[in-house]
Structure formats: structure tokens, C-alpha cells
Structure 1
Amino acid sequence: MKIFLQFLGIILFVSCIDEKEVPTAVIEVDQKVIGKHIERLASDEFLGRKPFTVGETLAVNYLKDEFEKLGLSPGNGDSYFQDVPMVEITGTPSEHMIISGRNTEIKLDYLKDFVATTNKPVTDVGLEKSELVFAGYGVVAPEYDWNDYEGIDWKGKTAVVLINDPGFKSGDSTLFKGNEMTYYGRWTYKYEEAARQGAAGLIIIHDTEPASYGWNVIESGWTGARLTIESDLPLLEVESWISGESAQQIFDASAMKGQDYKSLSRNKDFKPTPLDLNVSVSVENNIKKDVSKNVVAMITGSEKKDEVIIYSAHWDHLGVGKAIDGDSIYNGAIDNASGTAGLLAIAEAFKKGETTKRSILFIALTGEEQGLLGSAFYAENPIFDPKKSVANINMDALASPGKMKDLTITGFGHSEMDEYAKEEALKQDRYIIPDPEAEKGYFFRSDHFNFAKIGIPALYASGTYEGFDKSIEEVKKLNTYYNINNYHQVSDEYNSETTNLSGVKLDLQLFYAIGLKLANDNYFPKWYDRSEFKAARE
């Protein structure tokens, strides 16, 4: 019934929109322009577009020059660049994490049982017999009347929390959002919240199903050099994961021995519980600081210059790395030369039309592959007032085997951007569907997420499910092949003879049409009541 009412609301909303006239003609997004820019950005010349390399210099200057050729103005005062100060931290954790107390000592092995790191740009950090407190899912969500940190002075203490959020596999669709992961389920949120609460450290318990990846991903993703942005936000001394087996060892030795800590954590009345154990672990850091760049360009509105529609895509990829069959350049054609080319193609379409009432901002973001860093920096240092930023349309990894019947919206149900997408999809004889794997939290894994965090309604969508001339099964097989063989591999390259861009063009045409409508309207799309981002807008 809820789904029916939501779609009924969409239909009624669309009917109201259709009564308005759009004063600016719709221009065709040029497919040849899309291909030209993908081919150039994904060429070996750009060396995989990694921040702090020659590849970055080539990529950001190329984008700046192309925006300038189109006649776009600088988007950051008199500059096409927004400097993004970053810190590269290469941490070496202690060989063991020691859990002590209650006449016991548990020695966890690095990588096998735990990983540990920090975003603090200091040479030595650590926890020395820091008191362990189990904090359920580590969630503070006023809209759900939920607070896993309540009643504890967290100074000097280390929280132990579960991954995902209370709704996952609860069998209760009204508990948070049921199986659909909310923002509160992401590991990034959990570290941020623990720091806000004043904790010294946080340990996340790994579990493959609610995390949506195995321990091997933790091992590979939490070792070596990591980039972060310089920030005034509170930071933990140590951010850590432990394996599920290690967690069970700890609980068996703790004051909660014999209790079903997972079930207890789903209860709204749960309160953080001291484990009567301590943790000791340290990290030695090698620190390097540098500055990367977001590229920002704009078309100034004729009437409401300070109200902006933001198009975003990340320009960066993985650079030069491990050679495979003699090829060491990770070109990132789909991820994300495609979205970056989309910025330029949509900008060109807008320049061919009449000037819109509101301004249009195009931002090519750095550091997405390192943790959405360019968009995180913009969110902390916005060039335009977030309350006057009408919406964000984000483009990441646009690829399809041809024109698609569907428009899959990642984060469907968060905001009225769904309705705008629905209206334009119908004009293309397409249908919209929610992300079929919403439990994996893909909404929180691309740059639109950081715009959402500061209250800007965001759309992240593309055709990924069913083609006009390819079945659901055929499309699924092709998507699976890409994820296994090309995603983050040297094989993510562009071939003008074999790459079909008709589906990419269809998506970009839809994104352009949505922006065009918003840019000539007075309305600000709203977050739905059930979205965790509504409060930030208000």
C-alpha cells in the first residue's frame, strides 16, 4: 500500500508539473561530444587521472579549458578551481590489538583479526587500556527516537558497534527502512558519530551479509596509504574493524557473556553497555600533505543568480598501478570518464539554449575513489549556499549496452527528485525502479551523498536493468561481467568502435531535461519525511 501511495503521489505531482510551460527549448545532448571526451579523458595520456600525479594536472586543465571554450564562467569567484587540501596517511598498526580485563587477555592479530587506522594527521596515535563499551549499531537518529550513545560519558572510551542498521534482516519493514540500508548503516557514519560523541576509538564488528562484502575487502581496503581531507570536524584516535569471530571472543569474555547482543541492539530501549574490558592498539603514521582540485564552472542565471542546480561527476581514477599483461594504466573509461564527459556534454547543451532563470553549476570532483573527498570538501566549504542549491544531479559510471527501458534510481524514496525523474522518463517511454540492491547502500557510495548530507536533494540514477533490445537477463550478465572483469581494472578502457553510447546519451538527455525544468522554476524539491536528510534541509 505504501508503494502504491508513493507512486500515486508521483503521478499527481507529475500532472501538476505538466500544467506549467517550460520557456526554454530542449536541446539534444550530442552523442559525438560524449564519445570525444570519454576517449580523451580515458586515454593513456592522462595516466589514469590519479590525484597528486601528472594525470591530475592534465585532467583538471583539460576540463578547465573545455569549460572555457564553451563559454562557461569560473565557478569559484574568478577561478575554475577549488583547492582541496588533502593528507596522505600511511599507517602501520601494532602487530596485535590487546583486549584485557576480567582476568583475561585476548591477543588479536593484525589483518587476520583486526585492522586499524586513523585520519588524525599525527605521527603516533593509539588507545592504551581504553574502556570498551558496546553501543549497539552506533546510531543517533532523532527521527526514529533512537540513541545508542545515550547516558555515557564517552571521553577516553572506545565504542564497539555492529555494521548496518537495526532494520536489516529484522523482519520489520517499519524499523528504520527494513532491509534498505540507511545512512546510519554506513561505516563512514559510524566513525563520524563516535567522534561527535567524544569517543577515543571505534571498533566495527564485521559481518559479511550486512556489510555486503567479505573480510578480504577489509584487509585490502584498510592497508597502505589513505587520502583524507583536512577538516575541522572531530576525529577519533583510532578507527578499527574486527572480525565476527574476534567479536564473539570478546563478548564471551565480557560482562555481556551469554547475551544475544545482536538482538538486544534492535530494541529501541537498548542502552550502551560497558563490557568491563579494555583495548590497547597503536598506529604509526607517515604523513604527506598536498592539494588537489575540484573543477568548477557555471552558467549564470538571468533572474536568480544565487539559486543553483548542481551537476557533478568525479574526474579521478586509480592512476598507474600493478601491471596486468603489460598494461599498468587504470584508464577508468566508464568509471568515471563517462560521467565527466557527461558534464561537458550537458554544459554544451545548456549553452546552445536560452539562458535559464537560475544558475547551473558544473563541478568535476577529485578524490571520489579515495572516499568521496572532493565532494566532502565542497560540503564543508560550499561555494554556493546549500539552502539556495536547488538540487544535485550526480553522474558516475554511465554505461549501458544500448538504450534502456528502465531508469534505476539509487536512493529512491528520499526526495521529490524521484518525481522529476519519473516525468522525464515517461517522455522517453521508460519506467523508473528503485535500486534492487538497496540493502548494499550504494546511495552512500558516490558524490551525491555529500550534497545530500548538507540538505541538497540529490538524484543518482541510470539505466541498468532492462534494455529496449536486450532482456533483463542479458543486461544482468553484461553488468556482472563488467563488475568482475573491468571495474577498477586496467581493462576499463574506451573503444570507439565497440562502445555503444546510445544509452548513455539517453540518460544524459534526461538529466539535462530535469535540470532545465528546475532552472526555470521557482520550486525547491523537498525531501520526503522518511529521509534522514530532511533535517539538514530544514
Structure 2
Amino acid sequence: MQRPVLLCLAGAFALAACDRGPPAAPDAPAAPSTVSDTAHVFSPELAPGDFAEHVRVLASDAFEGRAPGSPGEDKTVAYIQSQFERIGLKPGNAGSWVQQVPMTETTADESAIMTVTVKGKPHALKFGDDMVIGTRSGQEQVSLKDSDVVFVGYGVDAPEQKWNDYAGLDVKGKTVVMLVNDPGFHVGDESLFEGRRMTYYGRWTYKFEEAARQGAAAALIVHDDAGASYGWDVVKSSWSGAQFDLRASDDPAPRLPMQGWITGAQATALFADAGLDFAALRKAANQRGFKAVPLDAKASVTLNSTIVEKSSRNVVGLLPGTETPDEAIVYMAHWDHLGKHPDEPGDNIYNGAIDNATGVAGIMEIAERFKQHPPKRSVLFLAVTLEESGLLGSKYYVAHPVIPLAKTVAAINIDAMSTAGLSKDMVVTGLGNSELDDVLKAITDKQGRVLHAEATPESGFYFRSDHFNFAKAGVPALYAEGGEDLAAGGSEAGRKASEEYTAMRYHKPADQFDPNWNLAGVMQDLDTLFQVGQVLADGTTWPNWRAGNPFRAARDASRAAGAKP
């Protein structure tokens, strides 16, 4: 979901060489059109009742939490497609409403127990309670047997930061244990990396990629609430049940045979039995020149998984431009959520109302309005899949764009809209990174709203939503939402609402539609984001990243390539 002055990513994300992805497969059979699920009469302009109806339908129990590859996907895709058709959009992928996203579904046997033997003393780590593990290998069985365990600090190799936790270390076949977030975070040293602001090196996805590059057999991240920005319950729910991935052939990133998380309590106990003080080592890992510390420990586990090759779908609707239809602005939102967890007692449907039925409803409402004000440039409305599995639907789209990235003016992402009411501010995750901020500010200035960056840059929200894949490919991407300084109650009320959502509903079954939501702020935010797109769609400018931003080089190269005859 968000952040500014990003780290210089190792290796530019390869831009797609072709104008379109592979030929569109016929639309996969879907459930009967779910237009009948609502008798609501929609307005052609932004309307809170329309928005609420979209969220109500998408977050209903009938959609089963919108898990990719499930009957809930069929209903979701059918509903979005039917609404795009009703609005008057055109099929956006070479005559098809969908872009097939090949995926691998991996469901781990959660009875797996990892045994870590420390100085001859075995520790049996239970799945869910003590650790979570999974494989992205596509193999039904992966095993560790007496794998040496090494603590590698933050698991970071950042040449431009003159930091390498793997320096002089051979971890081939070993199990690496590492900390979440960036060096400096756990000791409050803002002189390291970007201070409080998490870089991509702090994200768990990077840490697993780097461990794979180093040849490790397995990697475990030690969880802590502050470093991850969420509790163990979120880790447990997110890593249990079916996990989705792109096929290895569609994903150039390196993969580990096994990866996962371990609780802070278990890590502390394991280190203590090895004669090591985990708290002291965590502090030492924040110092330049830190050297990895082998534990006198061996890890063993056999993980059985059910592997199913499936295909999910991005839904693509296009409003062709009246003058330069080959150039486009992209509005996107992810439609997927966590599905059903049948083994959990009570309510086990993760409805995902805020996250992210609100975003899908938002792009539908903006599409309604654009249809009444035909743009000069095209506007593409993209509902992507597999965000909760690592931004995979948008990752696949960026590798196989239906509008060439060189012709994509900007991307505007809507993910988890605030339903707390009107706000005096707007949060831009990654404020200061691109010239899109200037377009947005001109609009919010007229509204009397103030722009500011996210309040918790250490949470790494910039890397946690779909705009990030566009950014890595060089396309300026905006992720902005209503702030916490509410018109009714001020910042205190806004913080309380945000904290309540994170603690009680985020990635939990309680994220359900509420007919009592205050949608005045949602309407204001959608109007603002519509205006940003309208300025771009009716103009001729090509916004870029700020000078010094690591994504600017990819944008410049893309634009230069697109300008060639």
C-alpha cells in the first residue's frame, strides 16, 4: 500500500517488450451474471448509495471472501464484468473482459512440525502457534534435514547503503533467521537507511528473495508487532490455507524451497538454549559491520502440500479516448481477499469489505462518472487478482500490459477506503516521489485539504499494494486516501478509527459491510481521484518521478523507447 524517497532497487524491473500480453483466452466460465444480485438502480454520477451497494454485494457471504480460484472468484468476476458492461465500458484485453493470470495454488499440511535441535535439545515448533511455513517451489513435498541455522541480522545486501549481512558467509543449504524491517528500526537509529521510513529491504518479500539468491534452503523471519506493523494473528491467517503464486515461468524473482515466520517468543527461547541473548543480538544487528552468527542448532521438517495449477483473472474495462486513445490512465483496485477458512470455528468468511470491496466499488463509481465526461485519452479500469498473495495480479499485468507501459500516463490505485467521514487532509503514501503530487495538490488546495505522507512510514505500506508493480516498471503511480484529521472529531477521532480497524477488522472476518458507514469522506475522495484522472486524461502532459527517484530511470527509458518509430 505506500512511501517516499525509495531505495534504489537492485536491478530495474524489465519492461514488457510487446504491446499486449499473450492472446486473450476465452473468458473462463463464470457464475451466472450477478447483476440479479442487486435490484439497485444506479446513478450515472458519484453516489453513496451506489458505492454502498457495490460493497454490500462484493462483501456478502455469498461471495465467500473472494478467494482466487474459488466459486467466490467466479461471482466476483461476473459481477465486476456485468457492472463494467452496464456502465458502457469496452472489453479491455483484445476483446476480452478478462486477463487470465496463470497461478499455482499451494496448500500446506498444517500438521507439519519443525524440529529445531539446539545443542542436542529438540524444540518442536507447531504450525500456527510457533511458526508458519510454506513453499513456492511447486513441489508436493519439501524437506529440511539437519539444516544448519544461522542468524543473519536483517538479511540485507544493500550495496548503496554499504550494508551486507551476508558478507563472507556461505548459507547454501542452511536455514537463515532474520529480523523484519530495516537496519536501525529496532534501536531507533534514523541515521541508517531511511530512518523511520521502511525501504524495500525491510519487506519480507525482499528478505526471502535475497535468501534465495544466497542459496539458502529455508528462511524464517522473526515476527514482532512493531517491525511487521501487525500482530501474529495476521501472519497466521495470511499464511494458513491455500496460498497463491505466479508460475515460476511468469515470475523472474528467485524462490526458496521453504520460507516462513517464527514468533519472537520461540526465537528468544531457541537463542537462549544456544547460549545467545536474542535481544542483544537484535541490537548488534543494527550496527554496521555486523557479522552473521551461527547457532549450534539444526532444523528439520517435512512439509507436504497440495499443489493445483489454476488460473485467476484480472478484469479489464476500457473507456477509449476521443483524441489519443493509444495513451491511457489506469485506475486499479484488487478484488481478491482471504476467502473461507473452514477449519476455524464461528464466522470463518473473510469478507474483505474495506479491504478491498471499497476499492473495487470506487473504480466503478469513477468509471460511471468518466462515462458522462468522455476523456481525450483512454482510461483503463483494472480490477486485479492475487494482491493478498503478493501483488501477483498487478505483477502479471505489468509484465503483460494491454496498454504499453510507454503509453501509460499514470496509475491511480484505490485500496481500503476510509469510511470514517470527511477529512481535512489526504494521505499520499510516498508523498514527494512523483509529479502526480502536484496534480493532486492543485485539487485538494481548492478543497481546503492538506496533503501529507503516511503517519507510519516504518510500516512499508508503499510496498504493500498494487501500485508498487507499476512504480517498479517506471509508471508514476498515486496511492492517496482520506486522512485522519476528521471534520468531526479531528485527528484523535481519526486515529481511533484507524486503530480500531487495524486491531479488530484488518484481515479478520469482522471486515464486513456496515450500512451505517459515513460515506461523505468516500465521496470526497472519489471526486478528488476522478479529478486527478480527468486532468491527465484531458491533457497532454507526461508526469514523471522526481529527480533522484530510483524509478525515474525506468520511466525515462520506457518513454524513450515508446517515442521511437
**TM, length-normalised to structure 2:** 0.80
**CA distance in 1: counterparts of 2:460 and 2:113, whole angstroms:** 32
User: SS at the partner of 1:368?
Assistant: coil
**CA distance in 2: counterparts of 1:34 and 1:265, whole angstroms:** 48
**CA distance in 1: counterparts of 2:347 and 2:142, whole angstroms:** 38
Q: Which runs of 5+ in 1 are unaligned?
A: 1-5, 7-26
**CA 153–467 in structure 1, closer or farther in 2 if over 3 Å, else same:** same
**Which residue does 1:17 correspond to in 2?**
none
**CA distance in 2: counterparts of 1:395 and 1:333, whole angstroms:** 13
1:431 Cα offset (Å) = 0.7
* Matching residue's letter, 2:397: Y
Pairs within 5 Å for 1:286-305: 286-302=306-322, 304-305=324-325
Contact 1:457 / 1:527 at 8 angstroms: preserved in 2?
A: yes
Q: Which runs of 5+ in 2 are unaligned?
A: 6-43, 557-565
Contact 1:108 / 1:114 at 8 angstroms: preserved in 2?
A: no
**Which residue does 1:407 correspond to in 2?**
426
Residue from 386, 389, 403 that aligns with 1:367: 386
Contact 1:229 / 1:373 at 8 angstroms: preserved in 2?
A: yes
**Which residue does 1:445 correspond to in 2?**
464
Contact 1:97 / 1:114 at 8 angstroms: preserved in 2?
A: no
**Which residue does 2:154 correspond to in 1?**
137
**Which residue does 1:479 correspond to in 2?**
498
**CA distance in 2: counterparts of 1:40 and 1:257, whole angstroms:** 52
**Which residue does 1:76 correspond to in 2?**
93
Does 1:350 pair with 2:370? yes
Pairs within 5 Å for 1:56-455: 56-92=73-109, 94-99=112-117, 104-111=120-127, 112-232=129-249, 233=252, 234-248=254-268, 251=271, 260-270=280-290, 272=292, 278-302=298-322, 304-320=324-340, 330-357=350-377, 359-455=378-474
Contact 1:81 / 1:294 at 8 angstroms: preserved in 2?
A: yes
* Matching residue's letter, 2:257: E
1:362 Cα offset (Å) = 0.9
User: SS at the partner of 1:369?
Assistant: coil
**Which residue does 2:532 correspond to in 1?**
514
Aligned length: 509
Contact 2:186 / 2:283 at 8 angstroms: preserved in 1?
A: no
**CA distance in 1: counterparts of 2:88 and 2:177, whole angstroms:** 53
Contact 1:49 / 1:317 at 8 angstroms: preserved in 2?
A: yes
Residue from 438, 458, 467 that aligns with 2:477: 458
* Matching residue's letter, 1:505: M
**TM, length-normalised to structure 1:** 0.83
**Which residue does 1:11 correspond to in 2?**
none
* Matching residue's letter, 1:459: L
**CA distance in 1: counterparts of 2:366 and 2:149, whole angstroms:** 52
1:327 Cα offset (Å) = 6.4
User: SS at the partner of 2:489?
Assistant: coil
Q: CA RMSD of the aligned region, Å?
A: 3.3
Cα-to-partner distance string for 1:372-424 (whole Å, 9 max, x where unaligned): 33223324433343344332211122133332111012233433333332222
1:437 Cα offset (Å) = 2.0
**CA 158–387 in structure 1, closer or farther in 2 if over 3 Å, else same:** farther
Of 450-459 and 283-292, deviating more is: 450-459
1:240 Cα offset (Å) = 2.8
Contact 2:147 / 2:175 at 8 angstroms: preserved in 1?
A: yes
Sequence identity, in percent?
A: 44
Does 1:469 pair with 2:488? yes
Contact 1:108 / 1:246 at 8 angstroms: preserved in 2?
A: no
User: SS at the partner of 1:149?
Assistant: coil
